[in-house]
Amino acid sequence: MKSQQPLRIAFDVQPGNGGPGRYVASLVRAMAAPEWSVQFVDIPQQTATGQSNPSIAARSPRRLSRLIPRFARHWLGFRREAIRLARNIRTMPVDLLHTQNTGCEEMPVAARLAGVPRVLGTFHVDSPVDLLRQRSGFTHRAMEWYSNRSFHLAIAVSEATRRDWMRRS
């Protein structure tokens, strides 16, 4: 009888001291079994959309960047980052990618672009955690909608967080 290959699961956050890192560490400890193969996506310089991603303006002459509307620069940066992440994901065989980057994030979109059969996300925070009010306009909400529709399944760390994201969707 043929033995079944272990399910290859990738996480986009290394086990560590922060909330998502501790969460991933506890999941990995619980998954120490022959039916699972756990790996971590190597994501150098991963950043959240709109925070410190280099924009088109940073790489274009200043006069040219003024001609590109701000929403288009955000979408182009989002697309560029998703494609870059998808290239990294394609380098490893993955059956399921469990991302801790939810909301308006490139990772779930990248996993789908890379052809990952199942994409799971964990919502660690409520949606209004936007202290600088940089993520509440139409462009951000549209990217958030697109990103969250890339999940096959999502988990929330609490019932309140689940209700919040369900209301926001």
- Rounded CA-CA distance 4/15 in Å is 27
Least confident window among 8-17, 43-52, 77-86, 143-152 = 43-52
- In this structure, what token pair is assigned to residue 8? 């290859």
pLDDT of residue 44: 53
Q: Mean pLDDT score of the chain, rounded to an integer?
A: 78
Q: Which of 112, 122, 119 is nearest to 151 (CA)?
A: 119
**Angle CA 91–94–95, to nearest 5:** 160
Q: Which of 116, 105, 124 is nearest to 21 (CA)?
A: 124
pTM of this structure: 0.75
- Rounded CA-CA distance 71/25 in Å is 37
Q: Is the pLDDT of residue 62 over 70?
A: no
In tens, the pLDDT along 74-131 reads: 888 889 999 999 999 998 889 999 998 888 889 999 999 999 999 999 998 877 666 5
- In this structure, what token pair is assigned to residue 127? 């949606």
Structure-token match 């999941």, residue found: 27
The distance in angstroms from the start CA to the end CA of the chain is: 46
